[in-house]
């Protein structure tokens, strides 16, 4: 049975709605979320309602933890800090409590999969995978066939063959019996690979696929303008940076 993996929604309701509709249109009813429900965008509570209704697994990201006060925001830039402060102001206590229930990591036996926002090695450090060397270290940390991550907002599929050789796939990869995989599904609500369309991942028994879905960017941007979120955060949605 196919399933979907989504992440980095960042309070962008229209992007999330488009992605969930696309998932539904494919007849997929199992969705895993790998972190950053909130931050950057205008409608955190509405996005959390949809995630609650649609996702089997909910993983916390650094922006989620920042809003909860669980992680330092020293390394956040001023726009990200402004968004964290805005998010804290507008979220209901009930939604904050729900966000608190998100896990740092999760393994799923039936999928032979591991889920984490940043890296399996030190999830709470919120490190980025910069190289295949970083990936090789992380392949040693989880035991499952596949690990799903988010965080960089840039989709990529890394395959490690049984020989140790590693390959990078951009949009899709066949699932080979001897190989293991690390997959970044990209970002639903703030893509950064130059393509403004929302990004997520569809998995079936033989293939990993990165899927792109257009949404009404302008609608989200207008909502951001109304609540006074930083212009840099509004503009970047047009370009996917
Ligand atoms: Zn993020």
Question: Is 240 a domain residue?
Answer: no
Say how many Å lie between the CA of residue 163 and the centre of ligand 1: 33
Q: Is residue 216 part of a domain?
A: yes
The pLDDT score that the predictor gives to residue 175 is 97
At 7, list the tokens: 């992440």
pLDDT, tens digit, 9 for 90 and up, residues 45-88: 999 999 999 999 999 999 999 999 999 999 999 999 999 999 99
- The rounded Å distance from CA 63 to ligand 1 centre is 7
Domain membership of residue 239 (yes or no) is no
Q: 75: domain range?
A: 3-230
Q: Which residues contact 194 (CB under 8 A, 6 or more apart)?
A: 239, 240, 241
CB 117, CB 35: distance < 8 Å: yes
CATH number of the domain to which 193 belongs = 3.60.21.10
Number of structural domains (the chain) is 1
Q: For the chain, list residues with pLDDT below 50.
A: none
* pLDDT given at position 130: 85
Instruction: Classify residue 41: in a domain, yes or no.
Output: yes
User: How many Å lie between the centroid of ligand 1 and the Cα of residue 159?
Assistant: 23
How many whole angstroms from 152 Cα to the centroid of ligand 1? 7
Q: How far is Cα 94 from Cα 68, in angstroms, rounded to an integer? A: 12
Question: What's this model's pTM, rounded to 2 decimal places?
Answer: 0.97
Kindly give the distance from the C-alpha atom of residue 162 to the centroid of ligand 1, in angstroms, as a whole number.
31
The C-alpha atoms of residue 238 and residue 241 are separated, in whole angstroms, by: 8
């Amino acid at each position: 049975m196919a399933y979907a993996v989504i992440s980095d929604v960042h309070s962008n309701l229209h992007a999330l709605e488009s992605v969930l509709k696309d998932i539904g249109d494919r007849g997929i009813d199992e969705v895993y979320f790998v972190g950053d429900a909130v931050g950057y965008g205008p409608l955190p509570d509405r996005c959390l309602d949809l995630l609650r209704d649609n996702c089997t697994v909910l993983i916390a990201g650094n922006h989620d933890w920042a809003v909860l006060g669980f992680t330092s925001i020293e390394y956040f830039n001023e726009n990200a800090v402004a968004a964290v402060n805005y998010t804290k102001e507008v979220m209901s206590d009930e939604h904050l409590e729900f966000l608190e229930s998100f896990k740092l990591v999760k393994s799923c036996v039936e999928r032979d999969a591991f889920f984490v926002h940043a890296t399996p090695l030190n999830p709470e450090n919120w490190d980025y995978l910069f190289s295949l060397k970083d990936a090789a270290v992380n392949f040693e940390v989880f035991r499952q066939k596949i690990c799903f991550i988010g965080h960089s907002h840039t989709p990529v599929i890394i395959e490690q063959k049984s020989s140790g050789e590693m390959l990078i796939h951009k949009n899709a990869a066949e699932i080979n019996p001897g190989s293991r995989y690390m997959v970044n599904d990209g970002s639903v609500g703030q893509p950064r690979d130059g393509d403004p369309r929302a990004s997520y991942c569809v998995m079936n028994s033989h293939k990993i696929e990165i899927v792109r879905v257009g949404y009404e960017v302008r609608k989200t941007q207008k909502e951001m303008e109304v609540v006074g979120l930083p212009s840099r955060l509004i503009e970047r949605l047009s370009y996917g940076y």
